[in-house]
Structure 1
């Protein structure tokens, strides 16, 4: 391949909108319905354009523009450290230069059919906090789960931890349990149910929760409490003693530096670092495969992250599921991705396969973004 240089970097936030207002979890009452999705577009000296999620600022863009793609990207290692501010745009570019989807770059194989990546719906938040009656609250969340099932989902994550700040502890735990049982009843035995406390429990509450929902067949419990040697070890031992086949998932946001060591010791089953470190996942995923640890990148408020996470399934053997946050964004066409029977159908298109409306993006650049050029 001839040397490819990046002659222009443009950046702007696009307006994103969830399917409905994202209400509370254990530590907040509402995430709102609207969000901003930061997008960077790079243009090569030959006029090829690629784009992706990025928080690059003008100063960093000024320092990078004019760089050689070959200096920034290696097929096996991904994006070099100095260029990680353009991580996803450069992966998109790599796919377009090779005329292959990113998942084929990761697998090293040319597929004759499109990738199908397992996924779960992540929208079952605490929409019930304004309701006083537990049965009414449980019915509301169960009805939302049924709607998610009609969109093709077969795995569903329920937010728990109402007693951390929204309700008295006992009342919050009681409602958490009622919601889980109602969702299981509404979806039937075949659905996969995940629960996420966002660190809103302690060790004893987590045990009580799983004891009282043993008949709901929980697949995993996510962030029951902030990960620690003092709690995760005894918790995993207790699960085994109780005969509860529940996975422990953790790692999003500000995770403990010891998280991977805990996973290696069998205390955490599913690692969930954020998807917006795409190259980090490309490097880490196979290492976790080698020690039989599952992966499920955390993604929220990121339509681009929905789609990018799917491609990791092409290169990580123990990839569990994509966290699918149903949303749209003005100017970003993700319609080539679709959900059916619990999987995302991933398009066999170059790069990440997404389309950016040039007029909408240029207006966003003029209004709230910037352009830096090598000319």
Structure 2
């Protein structure tokens, strides 16, 4: 079986693959995986292993030396250690900070994004697990501009009208209506 099934199924659509192993790989597993998808356009590697400064540095250095210099290293979703993540940002290891929008907090994300932008680091607040988070992050991204991608949580509700958000050419445009564009039914 090919490691490149998803890429092969969609390669005529010029897409990049987001890889997320949810801290289940080791550093060696991650490097072996990347070797196996060398011909696949990988956008980012998210939470490849339980984060440590040393292994994060090893991964980033390996990526730079082995043709993956444009692949983003994203981390911070599960059990984030914000001090460690900040150290990794300051050292140029972490490309994308992605702690959860609820767990970290919307107001804290506003402040964090200002700092991340000054350091040239991208963000992608985590959205999975709640249908409202994608809309909240869309507004944060529109206001601050350094959100590289938004995790789309598709869902339906008979209690919430999610609003008039538009998706066009891979971009999501937030609603201008009050209350993040959403209303209770």
- TM-score, normalisation: structure 1: 0.46
Assess if the C-alpha contact under 8 Å between 1:338 and 1:344 holds in 2: yes
| Alignment correspondent of 2:10 | 187
Summarize the alignment of residues 90-101 of structure 1 with structure 2, pairs less than 5 Å apart: none
Cα offset for 1:265? 0.5
CA positional deviation for 1:335:
4.3
> Alignment partner of 1:258: what SS?
helix
Partner-residue secondary structure (3-state), 1:313? helix
Q: Does 1:261 align with 2:123?
A: no
Paired residues in the alignment total: 180
Question: Counterpart in 1 of 2:117?
Answer: 289
CA–CA separation in structure 1 for the residues paired with 2:67 and 2:40: 14
Unaligned runs of 5+ in 2: none
Q: Which has the larger radius of gyration?
A: 1
CA distance in 1, matches of 2:98, 2:92: 15
Moved more, 266-275 or 252-261: 252-261
Of the three residues 132, 138, 160, the one matched with 1:304 is 132
Question: Alignment RMSD, CA only?
Answer: 1.4
Is the Cα contact below 8 Å between 1:263 and 1:293 reproduced in 2?
yes
Q: Work out which of the residue numbers 10, 29, 51 in structure 2 matches 1:205.
A: 29
Given that 2:15 and 2:41 are in contact with CA atoms closer than 8 Å, whether structure 1 keeps it comes out as: no
The CA distance in 1 between the partners of 2:44 and 2:153, in whole Å, is 18
Q: Which residue does 1:232 correspond to in 2?
A: 56
TM-score by length of 2: 0.91
Of residues 39, 47, 60, the one that matches 1:223 is: 47
1:74-113 equivalent positions in 2, closer than 5 A = none
Structure-2 residue corresponding to 1:352? 180
- Structure with the largest fraction of strand: 1
Q: Which runs of 5+ in 1 are unaligned?
A: 1-133, 135-176, 358-375
Preserved CA contact (<8 Å) 1:229 1:262: yes
CA contact (8 A) 2:163 2:181 kept: no
Of 241, 247, 267, the match for 2:72: 247
* Distance (whole Å) between structure 2 residues aligned to residue 303 and residue 343 of structure 1: 18
Larger relative CO (CA 8 A, sep 6+): 1 or 2?
1
Per-residue deviation, 1:317: 3.0
Q: Deviations over 1:228-269 (max 9, x none)?
A: 022111111111111212110001131123111111101110
Looking at structure 1, the residues matched to 142 and 163 of structure 2 have their Cα atoms a distance apart, in angstroms, of 20
